[in-house]
Chain A
Amino acid sequence: ETGVTQTPRHLVMGMTNKKSLKCEQHLGHNAMYWYKQSAKKPLELMFVYNFKEQTENNSVPSRFSPECPNSSHLFLHLHTLQPEDSALYLCASSQDWGAGELFFGEGSRLTVL
């Protein structure tokens, strides 16, 4: 596999469920990101990890919980979500935090019922 891969591609969950999104990058990058993409809105940066350490948390509700066990893997744990959390969740990586080009995965489409 090459680039940034995300699983699952689609996820439907109830408001009381607990689920996780997974991201893996095969680019040897040091920084990984979670973004939220909603229709007709700018991309919203949620979390940044640089060398496995969280460097940004943009006032994201605690029902979203990130985990970065190593520089290649990133998880987003989801629990007690709200319908307004339905969106496309994009994982990205870059050589280093803030350094130029972001490489995105194809996203996980989340629907909260």
Chain B
Amino acid sequence: QQQVKQSPQSLIVQKGGISIINCAYENTAFDYFPWYQQFPGKGPALLIAIRPDVSEKKEGRFTISFNKSAKQFSLHIMDSQPGDSATYFCAASPGSNYQLIWGAGTKLIIKP
């Protein structure tokens, strides 16, 4: 019940296309859902996060879609660029003072 399942494990998208990464959870107490981006040789960095009171959050080309009833959330990268090539991690937690539960990561490659 504490797992966050992330798919796909790897993804190749053409430049200009839409990249979609999905995550599913079971614990209905989760109420904070961040996405982290990790470039090779670097640590993960927060990209965007959402709480379940909204169904969508957009920051530039990056959008989180949240489906509370399905217990799923996804990251959409519009107009994907080669510079977006990285590993993306979703995570979830039941709020403050609880550790993040992480997905296994998606390696995204954007082909020029």
- Which single member of B36, B43, B99, B103 contacts A98 (CB below 8 Å)? B99
**Between A and B, how many residue pairs show CB distances below 8 Å?**
49
A98 to B44, CA, bound (A): 17
For B43, list chain A residues within 8 Å (CB).
4, 90, 92, 104-107
Binds A, one of B12-20, B78-86, B89-97: B89-97
**Assuming the A-B contacts A106-B42, A106-B43, A107-B43, are A98 and B96 also in contact, with contact meaning beta carbons closer than 8 angstroms in the complex?**
yes
Query: Which of chain B's residues has its CB closest to A55's CB?
Result: B97
Per the 8 Å Cβ criterion, residues 41-57 of B in contact with A are 41-46, 49
Chain B: minimal CB distance from A101 (Å): 5
- Are B105 and A98 within 8 A (Cβ)? no
Contact with B along A40-73 (1 / 0, CB 8 A): 1111010010000000101000000000000000
**Assuming the A-B contacts A40-B9, A40-B104, A98-B93, are A56 and B44 also in contact, with contact meaning beta carbons closer than 8 angstroms in the complex?**
no
Per the 8 Å Cβ criterion, residues 15-36 of B in contact with A are 34, 36
A48 to B96, CA, bound (A): 14
- Are B4 and A104 within 8 A (Cβ)? no
For B44, list chain A residues within 8 Å (CB).
43, 90, 102, 104
Interface size on A, residues (CB 8 A): 22
**Assuming the A-B contacts A40-B9, A40-B105, A41-B104, are A98 and B42 also in contact, with contact meaning beta carbons closer than 8 angstroms in the complex?**
no
Q: List 22 A-B contacts (CB under 8 A).
A: A40-B105, A41-B104, A42-B101, A42-B104, A42-B105, A43-B44, A43-B89, A43-B100, A43-B102, A48-B99, A56-B99, A90-B43, A98-B93, A99-B96, A101-B34, A102-B36, A102-B44, A102-B46, A104-B43, A105-B43, A106-B43, A107-B43
A42-B4, A98-B97, A102-B46 are known contacts; what are 9 more A-B pairs with Cβ within 8 Å? A40-B104, A42-B102, A43-B89, A58-B99, A90-B44, A97-B97, A98-B93, A98-B95, A103-B45
| B residues adjacent to A (C-beta < 8 A) | 4, 9, 34, 36, 41-46, 49, 89, 93, 95-105
